[in-house]
Structure 1
Amino acid sequence: MGKFHAVLQPGINILIPIIDQIKYVQSLKEIAIEIPQQGAITLDNVQLHLDGVLYLRVVDPYKTSYGVEDAEYAISQLAQTTMRSEVGKINLDTVFKEREQLNINIVDAINKASEPWGMVCMRYEIRTMTMPERVQEAMQMQVEAERKKRAAILESEGKREAAINVAEGEKRSRILASEASMQEKINEARGLAEAMERQAEAKKNALEKVSTSLNKHGGHSAAALIVAEQYVKAFSNLAKESNTVIVPSNASDISGMVAQAMTVYKKLASETAGPRLLEEFESIPKDPK
């Protein structure tokens, strides 16, 4: 008779003809409502055109039937106004960066307003978002400028790293070269020192042997013979290496030269070896033959 009596559950229900009749049929499934495109102005005064899809479900058929005249129309209008309100709170750049958060805020706002209608908004998705052509061109230029900036930064960082690597390589190369040169000089110095030590040792051994030989019987005669041989050999090589030859006035007097050399030896022997060597030297025949 036009008055609410009961909510019929799924299954078999008994109705009295003429007195009882079904007024509203509500689906308890989740339904999708298309939100038409509409304009919205961001916080920085940029006009956007957005449309979306609203997913909702009826949780209280009584409130949905008697709480509002047309539930779907009412909630679609609520979604549009809520979307315009939420977009007006953020900047243009934030709309694209926080699109998911924008959807969440719209769902929360719709649920608070649609609670008396017995409906729950499950989720809201912004489907398309368009903007004026000039704004889109400006954003495209901004994106290109940002990419060029990043490319320039990456290129400069690459050049810097390359310069650092080259400098580091040259530094290590110079250090290694200097260390190699230092080690080479050390090795050369050690080799020279060792050679000088060995030469000195060899000279020492030779002098010791000569000294031992001279101290033996007949050693002074052998020394005189060696001096005479060296004298003759020196005169035979006078004109081989140079055109300028200095010849002593008594070059033919070999015995005199030998006697002079032995006089020098006698003087050195008297200063170093003592009277014993001097006596042995006195006993040597003065005739070089």
Structure 2
Amino acid sequence: MFAFTMVVLVLLFILWKLLLVVPMRDVHVIERLGKFRAVLPPGFHILIPFFDRVAYRHDTREEVLDVPPQSCISKDNIQIEVDGLVYIKVIDGHKASYGIEDYRLASINLAQTTMRSEIGKLTLSQTFSERERLNESIVREIDIASDPWGIKVLRYEIKNITPSRHVIHTLEKQMEAERSKRAEITTARAEKEAMINLSEGERQYAINLSEGEKQKRINEAQGTAREISIIADAKAKGMQMVSEAIAKPGGDAAVKMQLQEEFIDQIGGVLENSKVSVVPTELANIQGMFEGINQVGESIKGGKS
């Protein structure tokens, strides 16, 4: 019974060594008597017991490796601390097994050295503004160097870029000065625009006043011209009527009588307002005429009596 049990155990052990199932996400490197035989893909495989063995197992899924923080010097001689993430994938199980001892550690160290080299080509401001280009450069350099290792570097991402405290303090002062500068520029531009708007308003106001004054004068001139035209037309019509009246019989005598009445009225006004009596020669003749008329009247009265 004991011998049967031992036989069964030996058969199970041989069967376990004979049959191999490779998971979907892995590849297995098989060695026969210490020499590389094959890279087995996922699936069921049969091995020769005690001759074949699984030397290496590799995960073919994408792996992410954390790159520890390290000190770097930028192009403008500023010390910064940078860390990141590198994403790799095993492409060739044979190279990954025999091309390098530990491809994960080698990828991390290569990422660090490449990152220091690339950051040394950029200034501090460029490391912040050109992260994408920096990541592409690091991936390209690591991918070329890691080709003999049987792995593919898919991408690299910088997590943090941390300058020293002194640099941070200096940058804060610089940013504060820049903000003050922008505020002063904005204020100056606002004042300039306000002055321009005010001057434009005053200019437009003066133009409106001058236009209003101009239109007023034009209207007054047109009104005066219209008034003069109406008065002139009226005088012309009056003079035409007077000339037509004079041309009629008895018109000349009526004009002379009218002129004499106006002359007498004007002389009367002058005599009333003046302190010195002035008697023109014509008035003396008129007075003699009146005296003659009085004498004729008295003679007529005496005859009747």
Q: TM-score, normalised by structure 1?
A: 0.79
Q: What amino acid is the match of 1:36?
A: P
Q: Displacement of 1:161 after TM fit?
A: 1.8
Closer/same/farther in 2, CA of residues 68 and 195 from structure 1, 3 Å limit: same
Q: Displacement of 1:197 after TM fit?
A: 2.0
Cα RMSD between the aligned structures?
2.6
Unaligned runs of 5+ in 1: 260-289
- SS of the residue corresponding to residue 129 of structure 1 reads strand
Q: Counterparts in 2 of 1:227-238, with a 5 A limit? A: 227=259, 230=262
Match of 1:19 among 48, 51, 54: 51
Q: Displacement of 1:215 after TM fit?
A: 1.2
Q: Displacement of 1:199 after TM fit?
A: 1.2
Match of 2:69 among 37, 40, 49: 37
Aligned to 1:70: 102
| C-alpha contact (below 8 Å) 1:238/1:245 kept by paired residues | no
In structure 1, distance between residues paired with 2:286 and 2:97: 155
Closer/same/farther in 2, CA of residues 113 and 122 from structure 1, 3 Å limit: same
Q: Counterparts in 2 of 1:91-240, with a 5 A limit? A: 91-227=123-259, 230=262
Q: Displacement of 1:116 after TM fit?
A: 0.4
Aligned to 1:256: 286
In structure 1, distance between residues paired with 2:139 and 2:128: 18
Question: Per residue, is there more strand in 1 or in 2?
Answer: 2
Aligned to 1:287: none
In structure 2, distance between residues paired with 1:133 and 1:238: 112
Task: Give the stretch that moved more between structures: 185-194 or 92-101.
Answer: 185-194
- Structure ID, larger Rg: 2
Alignment of 1:85 with 2:117, yes or no, is yes
In structure 2, distance between residues paired with 1:199 and 1:63: 121
Q: Displacement of 1:17 after TM fit?
A: 1.5
Q: Displacement of 1:226 after TM fit?
A: 3.7
Q: What amino acid is the match of 2:126?
A: T
- SS of the residue corresponding to residue 64 of structure 2 reads strand
Closer/same/farther in 2, CA of residues 227 and 27 from structure 1, 3 Å limit: same
Deviation string for 1:36-85 (max 9, x for gaps)? 11111112222111111111111111111111111101111111111111
In structure 2, distance between residues paired with 1:64 and 1:109: 18
In structure 1, distance between residues paired with 2:186 and 2:42: 67
Q: Displacement of 1:171 after TM fit?
A: 2.0
Closer/same/farther in 2, CA of residues 223 and 67 from structure 1, 3 Å limit: same
Q: Displacement of 1:128 after TM fit?
A: 1.3
Deviation string for 1:109-164 (max 9, x for gaps)? 10010010011111111111212111101001111111111121122122222222
Q: Displacement of 1:180 after TM fit?
A: 2.3
Closer/same/farther in 2, CA of residues 254 and 118 from structure 1, 3 Å limit: farther
Deviation string for 1:174-220 (max 9, x for gaps)? 22322222222222222212221221121111011011101112223
Q: What amino acid is the match of 2:154?
A: M
In structure 2, distance between residues paired with 1:103 and 1:134: 26
In structure 2, distance between residues paired with 1:45 and 1:184: 76
Q: Which has the higher contact order (CA 8 A, sep 6+)?
A: 1
- SS of the residue corresponding to residue 80 of structure 1 reads helix
Closer/same/farther in 2, CA of residues 140 and 246 from structure 1, 3 Å limit: farther
Identity value in percent: 40
Count of matched residue pairs: 254
